[in-house]
A and B are shown apart, each in its own frame.
Chain A
Amino acid sequence: MDNFLQLTFQGMALGCVYALIGLGFVMVFKSSGVFNFAHPVFVMISAYIVAALVPHGFGWGVLVALVCMAALAIVCEKIILRRLAGRSLYVVIMATLGLSVMGQAVVAMAWGVNPRGSTEGPMGRGVLRVGGVALPWTGVWIITVSLVLLAVLYLFFQRTRYGLALRAAADHHEAALAQGINMRWVQTISWGIAGVLAVAAGVFLGAFPRRVSPDMVDTALGALPALVIGGFGSLAGAVVGGMSVGLLLVLGSGYLAEYGGVHVVLPYVAMLLVLTLRPSGLFGHHEAERI
């Protein structure tokens, strides 16, 4: 039982990370129509930057990562992806995959392919004991900070006029233009938020198995089945999808260890099941809190 609770806790922590990554995909997709397959690489690069700078101070690492992500997002969006607006889906997918390949190559040049450090920083390696259950402090931090970020994001969408502009743009692009909403701003803000979410996700993912490595790209891609499971486009959907994937991964690796790496494919299998039963995702019909 303790083991189960412990794994569930870990799964929820990982689920939070997937919710953050998934929201990064959704923000950009809803505002600019670009489904950014390079987002997992943004997550990985953030983790590498923070891991490299942890000896000089965790805060510096996060700051530098934020600046780098902002610069990267601006370069990608202004120089490349804006020119592809209105082109077919495979063009956008392939362009972002091309960026992803380049990003991975650059990381391999800078840091090699071996795992590098960890990003836990001040989160520490200790555990919090609640009864017989040992909860790692990293997990506590991940869940707390993620919930705070999600709450801030929710308030931003519901209470500020920029949030309203973003929701309007996601709801009906042309009507938003006709209302005088400045799409450049909407897109810049969306990419910016996606960048912040990528940094947070990178730090958490690099602290969670205590390893920053090129595998993070495939790990971060797990946010895709999470999005499909939760249904594209709602905060609640992203959280539910992320939690499902996090729990599947952790419980799968805990209880199905004898089947090799089966936990890695569980989210995808679950996604295929959801698609078979409910093509719009679990939350697809539920369109409240859309972003």
Chain B
Amino acid sequence: MPEKDVSAAAGLAVDGLTVGYRTGGLVLSEVSLTVPAGQIVALVGPNGAGKTSLLRAVSGLLKAHQGVIHKGRVTLDGDAITGADASAVVRRGLAQVLEGRQVFPNLTVRENLLTGAHTLRRDDSRRHATFEEILDLFGVLRQRLGQRAGFLSGGEQQMLAIGRALMTQPRLLVLDEPSLGLAPRIVEEISRVVQAINAKGTTVLLVEQNALLAFRIAEYGYVLEGGRVMFGGPAAELAGDERVAHYYLGGQDMSGRRARRTAERTGR
């Protein structure tokens, strides 16, 4: 069970969230977790545990997938955002990087980034400053500003997706499996960037199947399985916890797991 000693005043708090889809049964039941402001919190769990559904419920994308929040509350810095529209959630300062990057393939890199500025008020200087900051963070994007995003490599697309989310100037950045399908060198770079973003004051909720990576850079972690939170605790403890290893890591080869997962996805 998650420990509830963390103050819920600032950051994201999910309380007793129960979620289902119109087509099927429940995918989350009574999920509670907190992401305190300024921290990196990791959420790990196997395929089908409900990680993506949890993110959808938080970010307002659930409706687009015919999903319903049956019970529970989501608050961001104390304000209720349960069931709010995606655009309202983004305006409140929560930005999500979707699983599998999902850049706008036919828009240029510059245009992809500018979609993130859509929610900002017409404060051009601030927007410009953010734009430059992001290009400093991801140098490779600067050379590709005029290219269509669909032609970028996987790693570049992931950076673009993160940069695009940062353009909304979020206080909380939610990343859904940023390491998925990327080479180890790129994964290292991404985790470095995530830490850099966090160091500048942005709270991060990192959802990963790659638990080792996630627990390494996070301060706190949760293990989600079968739509429930099985464990929660400081990331360092979880990484060394035998129960977590038994429940989730299972000594399995991560790359094998990922290959199977990719196969399942293409089948859908």
Write the residues of chain A forming the contact surface with B, with a CB cutoff of 8 angstroms.
86, 161, 164-165, 167-168, 171-183, 287-288, 290
B61 close to A164 (CB less than 8 A)? no
Could you say which residues of chain A place their CB within 8 Å of the CB of B102? 172, 174-175, 178
Counting from the closest, the 9 A-B pairs by CB-CB distance are A180-B90, A180-B119, A171-B104, A182-B87, A177-B86, A175-B102, A168-B115, A179-B115, A180-B87
In whole Å, how far is A165's beta carbon from the nearest beta carbon of chain B? Answer: 6
Q: A161-B118, A177-B60, A179-B164 are in contact. Are A172 and B87 (CB under 8 A)?
A: no
Name the residue of chain A whose CB is nearest to the CB of B66: A86
A-B pairs with beta carbons under 8 Å apart, 5 shown: A176-B115, A177-B87, A178-B97, A180-B119, A180-B168
In whole Å, how far is B28's beta carbon from the nearest beta carbon of chain A? Answer: 19
In whole Å, how far is A79's beta carbon from the nearest beta carbon of chain B? Answer: 19
Could you say which residues of chain B place their CB within 8 Å of the CB of A86? 66
Q: A178-B96, A180-B90 are in contact. Are A164 and B115 (CB under 8 A)?
A: yes
B64 close to A181 (CB less than 8 A)? no
B104 close to A168 (CB less than 8 A)? yes
B66 close to A181 (CB less than 8 A)? no
Could you say which residues of chain A place their CB within 8 Å of the CB of B59? 178
In whole Å, how far is A140's beta carbon from the nearest beta carbon of chain B? Answer: 35
B107 in the interface (beta carbon within 8 A): yes
B19 in the interface (beta carbon within 8 A): no
B106 in the interface (beta carbon within 8 A): yes
- Alpha-carbon distance between A281 and B61 when the two chains are bound, in angstroms: 33
Select the residue from A164, A178, A183 with max chain B CB neighbours within 10 A.
A178
In whole Å, how far is A180's beta carbon from the nearest beta carbon of chain B? Answer: 3
Q: A178-B61, A180-B118, A290-B106 are in contact. Are A164 and B87 (CB under 8 A)?
A: no
- Alpha-carbon distance between A188 and B85 when the two chains are bound, in angstroms: 16
User: Given A167-B107, A168-B111, A178-B95, list of 11 further CB < 8 A pairs?
Assistant: A164-B107, A167-B104, A168-B107, A175-B102, A178-B86, A178-B102, A179-B118, A180-B89, A180-B95, A181-B115, A290-B106
Name the residue of chain A whose CB is nearest to the CB of B168: A180
Could you say which residues of chain A place their CB within 8 Å of the CB of B48? none
Name the residue of chain B whose CB is nearest to the CB of A289: B106
Select the residue from A86, A168, A287, A288 with max chain B CB neighbours within 10 A.
A168
B107 close to A179 (CB less than 8 A)? no
Could you say which residues of chain B place their CB within 8 Å of the CB of A174? 61, 64, 98, 102
Residues 5 to 62 of chain B near chain A (Cβ within 8 Å):
59-61
B117 in the interface (beta carbon within 8 A): yes
- Alpha-carbon distance between A161 and B111 when the two chains are bound, in angstroms: 10
- Alpha-carbon distance between A178 and B104 when the two chains are bound, in angstroms: 12
Name the residue of chain B whose CB is nearest to the CB of A178: B96
B227 in the interface (beta carbon within 8 A): no
Could you say which residues of chain A place their CB within 8 Å of the CB of B106? 167, 171, 287-288, 290
A177 close to B64 (CB less than 8 A)? yes
| Interface membership of chain B positions 90-106, coded 1 if the CB is closer than 8 angstroms to chain A and 0 otherwise | 11000111100011111
B98 close to A183 (CB less than 8 A)? no
In whole Å, how far is B24's beta carbon from the nearest beta carbon of chain A? Answer: 15
Name the residue of chain A whose CB is nearest to the CB of B174: A178
B64 close to A173 (CB less than 8 A)? yes
Could you say which residues of chain A place their CB within 8 Å of the CB of B96? 178
B197 in the interface (beta carbon within 8 A): no
- Alpha-carbon distance between A287 and B105 when the two chains are bound, in angstroms: 10
Name the residue of chain B whose CB is nearest to the CB of A86: B66
- Alpha-carbon distance between A174 and B97 when the two chains are bound, in angstroms: 11
